[in-house]
Amino acid sequence: MRSTKVALVHDWLNQMGGAENVLEDLVDLFPGAPLYTSIYAPDLMPDAYRRWPIHTSFMQRLPGVAHHHQAYLPFYPLAFQRTDLSGFDLVLSNKSGFCHGVGTRNRDRKALHVCYCLTPTRFLWLYDQYREREQIGTGLNAVLQPVLALLRHWDWSAAQRVDHFIAISREVQQRIQTIYGRDSVVIHPPVDTERFTPDPSVPVGDYYLIVSRLIPYKRIDLAVAAFARLPAQKLIVVGEGRDLAALRSSAPSNVTFLGRQPWDRLVSLMRGCKAFLFPGLEDFGIAPVEAMSAGRPVIAFAGGGALDTVIPGVSGEHFAAQTVDALHAVLANFEPGHYDPQACRAQAERFGRERFRGKLLDYLADVIRDS
């Protein structure tokens, strides 16, 4: 791999999230590799990013794009299509949007393109979920429909030009097959298991814990309603978001909202909770793995990435439906003492950074050798 000329590709660099956590590991794995993206807002990203060799598209010059990048939806296919990376040996795209559409072939040569797929473009293929999540009204929805149809065609065609897909979970693997008709391997994204560690000196407290953005699809409302039926139990919610006021207004007195918390406080809360609650449907879900890394079990909805990460009876439990009744039934019978902290930790270590890096490098070496 040392002699391989690598280019990294990312959708946009104007906000932090799980995609950016993966990107940081990719940059560490391939130091000095140029990074191609649609837009980059240095003031909105960590200072360390300023040292990266970042190349942007014509979209960088569009007015207000850093703060309103979703308004420029139709421009992304053109931006990435115009990005010619055929001069590289390996193109590694970190995709949840459109960046898998970069050019990798010219008349003289073709780069090998491996796409680390966080999800097929959610806005296009899971539009109803996205519409609910972003509260898109009827008028805007009607305007978007012909645009979405064109973008779906482009997105599918771009996916056919990718040489190899990597999925972040079995859920996403199935989605890649269903939407794009493409096979993929699963390499789970990296989790910082060194930050979240068990501490035997910290006793198990009297509370359950949620750490999440407070937005509709995270389904924090299910937990709040379930604890209204469990007045003897306590729930602590860490995080901010547009649902905060509504959740607070409906919450019983045994539910406490702490807002954003510093890392040391967050680790302490993880170590001391009875269990971590994860009621949303996520493509992977890093926070539950962080809780298991700290030695605590997880109660998660039985869907998405939680099916890969939470082992019932070992590192937590699943509840079968996203309903208050289903979550309440698990909580009412939950015994925190039945779960070995070391077993939770061992499960989390399967998703640690070093495991991710080793699997990814081995896979890339294989596909380069076979190409």
Domains, in order of start, for the chain: 6-190+353-370 (3.40.50.2000), 207-349 (3.40.50.2000)
Among 298, 336, 332, 333, CA closest to 318? 298
Half-sphere exposure of 5 (CA within 13 A, CB side): 7
Mean pLDDT rounded to a whole number for the chain: 93
Instruction: Please tell me the pTM assigned to this model.
Output: 0.88
Q: What is the pLDDT of residue 128?
A: 74
**Mean pLDDT of the 180-190 span:** 97
pLDDT at 93 over 80: yes
Q: Are the C-beta atoms of 36 and 85 separated by less than 8 Å?
A: yes
pLDDT at 138 over 80: no
Position 147 confidence tier, pLDDT thresholds 50, 70, 90: confident
**Mean pLDDT of the 202-222 span:** 93
Q: What is the pLDDT of residue 107?
A: 77
In angstroms, the Cα distances linking 190 to 22, 193, 284, 359 are: 7, 9, 11, 11
pLDDT at 192 over 70: yes
Among 283, 280, 350, 281, CA closest to 315? 350
For 64-73, 131-140, 294-303, which range has the lowest pLDDT when averaged over its residues?
Answer: 131-140
Q: How far apart are CA 31 and CA 368, in angstroms?
A: 19
In this structure, the dihedral spanned by the alpha carbons of residues 138, 141, 145 and 151, taken in order and rounded to 10 degrees, is -170
pLDDT at 5 over 90: yes
